[in-house]
Amino acid sequence: MSSVIKNLKWRYATKKFDASKKIDQEDLEALLEGVQLSASSYGLQPYQIFVIENPEIREKLKSAAWDQTQLTDASQVIVFANHKKLDEAYVDDYIKNIAETRNMSVEDLQGMADMIKNTTLKMEADQQNEWAQKQSYLALGFLLNTAAHLKIDVCPMEGFSAENFDKILGLEEKGLHTAVIACIGYRSEEDDYQHATKVRKSTQDLFHFI
């Protein structure tokens, strides 16, 4: 069995973290780099990611997540906040980044810029917000996979008030909205879920070859 599969079988949604164990800086940087490398539509990454360590803020977030202990016991809380609306300036900045990174001219990328603007910027506001949220979930997937490789535990969470998270973190004025969160750290020995057999659909039920 490959190490990739072994690591994925090792991971689970950790319900109880060991509050005494913290992720060291080197592993945290590696984990975040894995998230940075996430796939996204057009490569636009229409989100911002917040790494929450401040104990007082985490207590407030815990209250906005129905007092789930992961928010305060984990090493860090990762908040994926999508842009509610993109504009031409956002796309232009992205095109400029491509040009600088690949030693190209912005003019050479005009066709790409026009194509992106003619698709993403013409979405209705609700559609664009939903699309950006989906990109945030892709980044969450990269977090889960990278963490499994590093033997870091993660609890991805949707059980929270996104509106309250937005207020606590001051996201509204930034044009951002909390899409999904993840608590990261190390499992507690008292978390019985780590001993539960992983339940998934069989390959026959899940995969269809056409």
Q: With a cut of 90, say whether residue 1 has pLDDT above it.
A: no
- State the DSSP code for 197: P
Q: What is the pLDDT of residue 82?
A: 98
Q: pLDDT tens, 35-74?
A: 999 999 999 999 999 999 999 999 999 999 999 999 999 9
Cut 0.95: pTM above it: yes
Q: Greatest CA separation found in the chain?
A: 58
CATH of domain 3-83+131-206: 3.40.109.10
Which are the contacts of 4, defined by CB distance < 8 A and separation ≥ 6? 149
Q: pLDDT tens, 7-38?
A: 999 999 999 999 999 999 999 999 999 999 99
Indicate the domain borders of the chain.
3-83+131-206, 87-120
pLDDT classification of 80: cutoffs 50, 70, 90: very high
Q: pLDDT tens, 86-140?
A: 999 999 999 999 999 999 999 999 999 999 999 999 999 999 999 999 999 999 9
Distance CA(118)–CA(112), nearest Å, equals 10
Cα–Cα distances in angstroms (integers) from residue 33 to residues 27, 44, 82, 115, 165, in the given order: 10, 16, 18, 28, 24
